[in-house]
């Protein structure tokens, strides 16, 4: 209990004093996760919608595979990305290993199946309601997808927020491909892991409380900007 209290006090001190390292690490955490969520949403939301609308052979197998990929072990993803981006790997020439870009790539691989699967579930129910109307209007497949994406935007926002929640707390993959380099690739989760390993539990807890607060703040901000509470759907 004393350590938790000490962590809260340390978190308050870091925030009130605008600790430079804390600000740098927090901004890098947001940069990596928000970029990964944006890329994953750009891929996953249309993919989930397309799977809800399109009928093709092996569709159920593809959906089942997508759902299974939601549980991808982050350390395995990190290892695969590491091997691909290392000097001996096919993309080693780009020198991306141990950079924020490598961390974003790993997070995109982890988050895209999650966002696509949630989007598919949401759009499938919406498609059942809109099916007859959109067919009768003789819309193209992409017009149907665009309509469903727009009308289901609040449900799809939830999918992106779920991706953000998982991404902001990710440590295994980004530790492997980022290397937890100070002033370069260190983020909140890897900093917590480092301080815990050093036995500095007060600072580790403080960073943990900052991480939780940051995640809650971003979620509240997005909900406010999207006006979900005004519509009575939140």
Summarised one tens digit per residue, pLDDT across range 76-115 is: 999 999 999 999 889 999 999 999 999 999 999 999 999 9
> Are the C-beta atoms of 163 and 45 separated by less than 8 Å?
no
What's the CA angle centered on 30, arms 102 and 155, to 5 degrees? 100
Q: What average pLDDT does this structure show over 8-20? A: 82
CA 159 – CA 19 distance, rounded (Å): 33
pLDDT of residue 234: 45
Higher-confidence position of 233 and 156: 156
* Confidence (pTM): 0.87
CA torsion sign for 208, 210, 211, 216 is: positive
- 126, 151 in Cβ contact below 8 A? yes
Q: Express each pLDDT in 103-152 by its tens digit.
A: 999 999 999 999 999 998 888 888 888 778 888 888 887 888 888 888 88
**How high is the mean pLDDT of the chain?**
87
Q: Looking at residue 80, what is its pLDDT?
A: 95
Task: Reply yes or no on whether the pLDDT at 16 is more than 60.
Answer: yes
Radius of gyration of the chain (CA): 20
């Amino acid at each position: 209990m004393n350590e938790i209290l000490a962590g809260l006090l340390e978190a308050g001190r870091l925030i009130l004093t605008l600790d430079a390292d804390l600000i740098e690490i927090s901004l890098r955490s947001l940069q990596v996760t928000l970029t990964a969520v944006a890329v994953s949403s750009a891929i996953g939301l249309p993919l989930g919608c397309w799977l809800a609308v399109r009928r093709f052979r092996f569709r159920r197998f593809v959906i089942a595979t997508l759902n299974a990929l939601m549980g991808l072990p982050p350390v395995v993803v990190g290892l695969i990305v590491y091997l691909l981006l290392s000097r001996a790997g096919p993309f080693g020439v780009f020198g991306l290993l141990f950079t924020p870009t490598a961390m974003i790539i790993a997070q995109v691989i982890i988050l895209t199946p999650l966002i696509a699967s949630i989007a598919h579930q949401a759009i499938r129910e919406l498609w059942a309601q809109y099916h007859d109307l959109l067919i009768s209007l003789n819309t193209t497949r992409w017009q149907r997808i665009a309509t469903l994406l727009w009308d289901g935007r609040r449900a799809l926002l939830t999918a992106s927020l779920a991706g953000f929640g998982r991404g902001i707390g990710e440590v295994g993959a980004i530790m492997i491909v980022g290397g937890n380099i100070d002033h370069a690739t260190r983020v909140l989760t890897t900093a917590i892991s480092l301080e815990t390993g050093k036995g500095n539990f007060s600072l580790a807890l403080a960073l943990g409380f900052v991480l939780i607060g940051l995640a809650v703040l971003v979620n509240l901000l997005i909900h406010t900007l999207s006006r979900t509470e005004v519509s009575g759907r939140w």
